[in-house]
Structure 1
Amino acid sequence: MKILYFWFNEYKKVKDFEANFGSEYLFGFEYNNHTISVEDNKVYIKDFFKIKSKESKNPKVDISAIVGENGSGKSTILEFLSEIMNSENNENIDSEYILIYTIDERLHFSTNINKKIIFRNNSSKYIIFCNTPINLHGHLTLIFSNVFDAKSIGMHSEEEGIHYRNITTNFLMSQFYELSQFLISELEKQVYFVHEYKDQLNIQNLMTVPDKIFIKASLNENSIIYTDELEDVMYLIRTKNFTDDFFDYKKSNKFYSDMLSNSLIAYFAQIDNLFEKNNITLIGTYYKDLLYGFSKEKHNNIFDAVYRQLEEELSEYYYNDLPNKTIESLLASLKELKESFELFIDYFMNMKFNSSDNSLYIYTYSLETKEFISLYKNAFAGIDCLEFTWSDMSSGEYGMLSLFSRFHSILEALKRDEEILSKDEYFSKNKLPFIIEEGKLKYENVSVSFPTSFLLLIDEGDLYFHPQWQKDWLNYFIKLVNLLFEGEVQIILTTHSPFVLSDFPNTNVVFLKRDNNSSYLPDSIEGSPKTFASNIIELFSNSFFINDGLIGSFAKEKVNNFIQSLLQLSPEDVYNNQDELKKFIDLIGEPLIRNKILQIYHGKLELHNENHKDLGKRIQVLERELENLKNIRRNITND
């Protein structure tokens, strides 16, 4: 699925908005006569954003940008588009809209306008439009923003459909009771991402990743759904020295004892999830009984002991009541879980942790760390028993890693999500049928396969970035998309940075301006009809981005006041204060302005010097006259 055109009548402060998102066609909508016109996009280049890479999964990538100043409505447009992509059959959509998109090269359009739409085809091709509900089979929309504001309050109630995921900072924060838990979750995602893709993306060329990862044993209880059984075994495990009975370790360190206790709790939590998933309840056996059944003579370790007892329990109680495939599948999952915990604990007990100011850390780029994190992820699968924090990181570095790691994390989570990933081969290979429900044409609501089509909505992804990163980040993100995604990927991003704009051809850019209390769409930016590979300085100087020149408003006012003051000063005042005046003039960086002020400054000094030169001549004349008078007086006296 790829969106080609989007129009809506009014949403919040944005009115009569339309945008073409870079395709072989250009669309336009006339609201008065409800006519959609189509013409050829003569400058369209297919696969413009395709890159060559040996490690790429070769997705089909299209990218468009919505560019505008603060308050012009960029975020509002993404918000409304995400609302449509997260709604079923236009329900709860107040504004009239039109969405034109393609699926398998076929044109579709969806609208909630209750009038007949007329099509005027001015293109060189014969076009047929399918007027159907938005077909989201095999599609996923992801919306990202690193902005944190008051919108996060109350967002926990927002519903995420199987075709929509919200990974904005506001939404993710609303899912945690405490800010610290959100930050821990973010850092964990970043650590996982860096260790999986640091070499493929050459992240170190873009930013300086801290060389140390501080680590702390801490169980995030919010990541566990507790039952009475789990609470009982959790209390038992945390009883003082109880863990010593199950693990042979000589290190009398709280970090090790806490981690081992947390590992056991996480192990039982995942067992509980497996039984819940298969609708199986243990009869006559409690989790704490499995702990007491441990024997060093019979079992390799506590994980092996629990697994073997469960294996016996399942065979004894359920073999005749459940299908063989169910038992076999559950036992295979339990065995895989046991082995993953065994591998992690064995590695953990032999792992060397460094210490600094009573805090433990591991080195970011060591092979030992890479293996440790890989085993930890594999065993704990979303149940957090460790807290990761970077040794040092700027807000820009944090923002960059958050952008990359959230997309990586959500795809990892989706692979484990039964709601998205279905094993039903029929629905992964066939189109969903239409049904009539409540007098409306709808797609049948059934299980779907892992997405093969993605819409990534990125709201100011360059937030917090240094200008150099604003210039580079999109290139790295395109490389990441090629590593993470398969199928069709459409990216629609917002920005107010000309650094990003220079990566886009004009047909993939939507310009948005603010006028009083509303927004409007200029045809292009004055003096710069072409944006791709355009000089960034020229884009900066364009009135679309900056009004009244490139000098800061404070500096402009300061310089103007200085000029007015200089013009009013007398030559004598300029001469008496020349050091202070010259000091300010030398601060001015723009040569044209500085030289013009210097002309005024030197002109005043010359006037002062001329005045003093004339006065000197007058004194000389008067002195000569005085001397002549003295001579006359002497002559008279002598006579």
Structure 2
Amino acid sequence: MELLFAWIDSYKNIKRLGFNFSNYQDVSLEFGENSSIVKVRINEARENFKIFGPRIKSMTGIIGKNGSGKSNILELIGMSMEQRRLESINSSSYFLLYKYSPTKYVIEGADFKLVQNILNDISINSGYQNPYSFTVRYNREEGVFKKLEFLQEDTKKIKSLEILTANHQGYSSHVARFSEASIMFQRIVLQPKNIGVYPKYKMLIDFNKHNDIGNQTFQAKDRVYLHIRPNLKYTAHGKYDLELKVNKSLKIIFKTNDMDYALSPYEKKKNWISSLTEKYIFFAWESLTDHLIKYDEEHKIPTLKERIENIPNNGNVWGYYSEILNLLMGELDRLNNFWVDKDEYYNAFDELTLLLFSLPSKAFTQDTLKILVGDVEEESISNLLRRLDKEYLKTDSPDLLNRILKVEFLPFSSGEEAFLNLFSTLYYGITINKNHERKTLLILLDEPDQFMHPEWCRLFIWQLTTFLKQTCDYYNYQVIFTTHSPFLVSDLPNSYVITLDKNQDTGECIALPKISTQTFASNIHTLLADKFFMDTTTGEFAFQTINKVIKRLNNPRPLSVKKRRDISSIIGVIGEPIIQNRLIEMFNAKVPNDREQRLRELKDQQRKIQSEIDKIESEDV
């Protein structure tokens, strides 16, 4: 199934505009009285050459200035059913047209009045509620549809289209990560911060295996490390500081090179996990004392402190830690601080400890777990990252591990991190529900090139198409993205590009004609010169400075010596040779005239001075 067309009668700043999304079919509407839609024309008007390969059905770029409505279009297409119900209450009015098979189409939307004239045998009084979905058959001669099924009544629930939205920014994690299966569609909304760490690790492994993607941007193999370090924050209370019975002579501490060479990797691992456990104990102790103070039970703290400090350490440090944690968890549970049983917290930490012990001993350093990312996935690392993701991404129950560890990939620039975040988000979304029926995945990308270096923007479409072909072979793809960048547009024919602007008075979206030049393989400077992207390809400060120089050179008034030096300096740093040479000509033409004028002024002053001298001398005589 493929999204062909969207008619948006009213949604946010978009009013009565239609948008084509297929690279091979054009949809147009005919209007009757009261501007109602009376016919739909579906034309095989575009070339049938699949420029991106057989599995990428179409790719559409939406370009527009800030506030023009680009993101609103993607938002409407990717909206969940619950959001559609709310928007229909808020008077949003639209319909989306999908091609389901050579003879069948699907229409979904809100405000049934929009489509009542193009659906045979259905009236506005048929009892259908917003939002609605129909399968229909198209009558090309009459330009109307015949309803086949009302999808909300269909019990088969055939999912023929998955819609994946990947955003850089958005809402909180509680609403930004969901997967909704409806009758004909599955919508998945993701943000990089809400997919977890494991997909990024897996993505790097795959990049290192398939170097034709990674080598074009950054080489991760044997360069990028997985860094894991404690992330618990706590402060000392002074009189309530807890003293643990840990044998300092046996506790291995990484402080000097002299000690480090004598330690076995396994001893380093034990010490690292022991140190993390102590931090967790102090963190839990602080949480307990804070709650006792808050609920006027501070008088109980000394007794609890004495009980903990009297727990014996008989040489089994892990048993010692276990007793302390059980006591702390029990007291916190008594204060009703837990939403779940205290044993679940303890078991989660115990499981984390076992996962850490399963990691390679060589990875443990003084403060950080440091693991080189190669091209082979290590099961122990994957198990740990999946367990952390399971807790950190929860939205309906507490995090049992209290974000005990911070996980990062280093060293990464902000551009590299943006690249990894985007592609790992896509990887997660594509593989979250593997489908072997070759249905379509509609991918919605809102400014995917944000934060990327211009060279990476230039490579992005190639990277994306290569990635989609390599990641899995069980999907066909349709891609719709928004951008400000001419780099992305230069990889699309201009018929694949939707151009938007904003009415500065009303704020409403304006659909512009196609870019005048052919965009595919077009020179970036040629695209930038198009008025859509920029009024001028020069920075505004430089543009205004050059205009001031031109006005000053055209002014008949003479230039002072300082002004000449200033103008000469500005002309000297201009990088565009045509502009620079023209200003040099203007300057040379202006300065000789100024010299002659100044000479006349000086001679006139000389005559006046001489006249004064002669007058004084004659008075003396």
Pair in the same fold by TM > 0.5: yes
Following superposition, the deviation at residue 204 of structure 1 comes to: 3.1
Aligned counterpart in structure 2 of residue 409 of structure 1, from 428, 431, 448? 428
CA distance change for structure 1 residues 537 and 139 in 2, over 3 Å: closer, same or farther?
A: same
Kindly provide the amino acid, as one letter, of the partner of residue 41 in structure 1: E
Following superposition, the deviation at residue 342 of structure 1 comes to: 13
Question: Within the alignment, does 1:70 sit opposite 2:66 as a pair?
Answer: yes
* Counterparts of 1:559 and 1:168, CA distance in 2: 44
Question: Within the alignment, does 1:544 sit opposite 2:532 as a pair?
Answer: yes
Matches of residues 515-534 of structure 1 in structure 2 within 5 Å? 515-516=503-504, 517-525=507-515, 527-528=516-517, 530-534=518-522
**2:560 aligns to what?**
573
Following superposition, the deviation at residue 478 of structure 1 comes to: 1.4
Question: Within the alignment, does 1:143 sit opposite 2:165 as a pair?
Answer: yes
* Counterparts of 2:74 and 2:60, CA distance in 1: 12
Following superposition, the deviation at residue 595 of structure 1 comes to: 2.0
Kindly provide the amino acid, as one letter, of the partner of residue 61 in structure 2: A
**1:28 aligns to what?**
28
* Counterparts of 1:240 and 1:608, CA distance in 2: 89
Following superposition, the deviation at residue 554 of structure 1 comes to: 1.5
CA distance change for structure 1 residues 251 and 611 in 2, over 3 Å: closer, same or farther?
A: closer
Q: Secondary structure, in 3 states, of the residue corresponding to 2:478? A: strand
Kindly provide the amino acid, as one letter, of the partner of residue 188 in structure 2: R
Aligned length: 460
Matches of residues 207-606 of structure 1 in structure 2 within 5 Å? 207-209=218-220, 211-216=223-228, 250-251=267-268, 253-257=270-274, 348=359, 350-353=360-363, 355=365, 358-365=367-374, 373-374=381-382, 376=384, 382=390, 387-414=406-433, 452-485=439-472, 486-516=474-504, 517-525=507-515, 527-528=516-517, 530-547=518-535, 549-568=536-555, 570-571=557-558, 573-574=560-561, 578-606=564-592
**Could you give the per-residue CA deviations for residues 255-275 of structure 1, whole angstroms, max 9, x where no partner exists?**
24478999xxxxxxxxxxxxx
* Counterparts of 1:366 and 1:157, CA distance in 2: 31
* Counterparts of 2:554 and 2:83, CA distance in 1: 65
**2:126 aligns to what?**
none
Q: Secondary structure, in 3 states, of the residue corresponding to 2:116? A: coil
* Counterparts of 1:535 and 1:61, CA distance in 2: 26
Question: Within the alignment, does 1:107 sit opposite 2:117 as a pair?
Answer: no
* Counterparts of 2:465 and 2:354, CA distance in 1: 35
Following superposition, the deviation at residue 472 of structure 1 comes to: 0.7
* Counterparts of 2:83 and 2:197, CA distance in 1: 32
* Counterparts of 2:27 and 2:580, CA distance in 1: 50
Following superposition, the deviation at residue 397 of structure 1 comes to: 1.4
1:22–1:44 contact (8 Å) kept in structure 2: no
Q: CA RMSD in A?
A: 4.5
1:344–1:372 contact (8 Å) kept in structure 2: yes
Following superposition, the deviation at residue 205 of structure 1 comes to: 2.4
* Counterparts of 2:177 and 2:224, CA distance in 1: 37
Deviates more, 1:108-117 or 1:459-468: 108-117
**2:257 aligns to what?**
none
CA distance change for structure 1 residues 259 and 577 in 2, over 3 Å: closer, same or farther?
A: closer
Matches of residues 165-176 of structure 1 in structure 2 within 5 Å? 165-168=188-191
**Could you give the per-residue CA deviations for residues 272-307 of structure 1, whole angstroms, max 9, x where no partner exists?**
xxxxxxxxxxxxxxxxxxxxxxxxxxxxxx9xxxxx
* Counterparts of 2:522 and 2:73, CA distance in 1: 26
Following superposition, the deviation at residue 563 of structure 1 comes to: 2.6
Following superposition, the deviation at residue 102 of structure 1 comes to: 2.0
Kindly provide the amino acid, as one letter, of the partner of residue 15 in structure 1: K
**1:198 aligns to what?**
208
Following superposition, the deviation at residue 146 of structure 1 comes to: 0.7
- TM-score, L = length of structure 2: 0.63
Relative contact order higher in (CA < 8 Å, ≥ 6 apart) = 1
**Could you give the per-residue CA deviations for residues 122-178 of structure 1, whole angstroms, max 9, x where no partner exists?**
689999775643876253221111135xxx269649965232222136xx5xxxxxx
Structure 1 unaligned segments of length 5 or more: list them: 52-58, 173-181, 221-237, 263-301, 303-339, 416-420, 422-427, 430-450, 619-639
**Could you give the per-residue CA deviations for residues 548-567 of structure 1, whole angstroms, max 9, x where no partner exists?**
x2112221112222333344
CA distance change for structure 1 residues 4 and 569 in 2, over 3 Å: closer, same or farther?
A: same
* Counterparts of 1:195 and 1:546, CA distance in 2: 40
Deviates more, 1:199-208 or 1:460-469: 199-208
Following superposition, the deviation at residue 494 of structure 1 comes to: 0.9
Matches of residues 179-194 of structure 1 in structure 2 within 5 Å? 188-194=198-204
Kindly provide the amino acid, as one letter, of the partner of residue 271 in structure 2: K
CA distance change for structure 1 residues 26 and 612 in 2, over 3 Å: closer, same or farther?
A: closer
Following superposition, the deviation at residue 97 of structure 1 comes to: 1.9
Following superposition, the deviation at residue 21 of structure 1 comes to: 1.2
Following superposition, the deviation at residue 518 of structure 1 comes to: 0.9
Following superposition, the deviation at residue 370 of structure 1 comes to: 5.0
**2:331 aligns to what?**
none
CA distance change for structure 1 residues 488 and 40 in 2, over 3 Å: closer, same or farther?
A: same
CA distance change for structure 1 residues 95 and 137 in 2, over 3 Å: closer, same or farther?
A: same
Kindly provide the amino acid, as one letter, of the partner of residue 587 in structure 1: V
Q: Secondary structure, in 3 states, of the residue corresponding to 2:27? A: strand
Following superposition, the deviation at residue 25 of structure 1 comes to: 2.7
**1:333 aligns to what?**
none
- TM-score, L = length of structure 1: 0.61
Following superposition, the deviation at residue 489 of structure 1 comes to: 1.9
**2:187 aligns to what?**
164
1:188–1:387 contact (8 Å) kept in structure 2: no
**1:334 aligns to what?**
none
Q: Secondary structure, in 3 states, of the residue corresponding to 2:428? A: helix
**Could you give the per-residue CA deviations for residues 316-371 of structure 1, whole angstroms, max 9, x where no partner exists?**
xxxxxxxxxxxxxxxxxxxxxxxx999977862x5412648x4442223376x856
Q: Secondary structure, in 3 states, of the residue corresponding to 1:117? A: helix
2:229–2:369 contact (8 Å) kept in structure 1: no
* Counterparts of 2:176 and 2:365, CA distance in 1: 42
**2:92 aligns to what?**
95
Aligned-residue identity in percent: 22
CA distance change for structure 1 residues 239 and 124 in 2, over 3 Å: closer, same or farther?
A: farther
Question: Within the alignment, does 1:8 sit opposite 2:17 as a pair?
Answer: no
Kindly provide the amino acid, as one letter, of the partner of residue 167 in structure 1: L
2:191–2:425 contact (8 Å) kept in structure 1: no
**1:227 aligns to what?**
none
Following superposition, the deviation at residue 70 of structure 1 comes to: 1.2
Following superposition, the deviation at residue 40 of structure 1 comes to: 2.7
1:3–1:21 contact (8 Å) kept in structure 2: yes
Question: Within the alignment, does 1:133 sit opposite 2:151 as a pair?
Answer: yes
1:512–1:519 contact (8 Å) kept in structure 2: yes
CA distance change for structure 1 residues 85 and 198 in 2, over 3 Å: closer, same or farther?
A: farther
2:444–2:479 contact (8 Å) kept in structure 1: yes
Kindly provide the amino acid, as one letter, of the partner of residue 99 in structure 1: L
Q: Secondary structure, in 3 states, of the residue corresponding to 1:205? A: coil
Following superposition, the deviation at residue 464 of structure 1 comes to: 0.9
CA distance change for structure 1 residues 539 and 532 in 2, over 3 Å: closer, same or farther?
A: same
Deviates more, 1:251-260 or 1:395-404: 251-260
Kindly provide the amino acid, as one letter, of the partner of residue 595 in structure 1: N
1:213–1:388 contact (8 Å) kept in structure 2: no
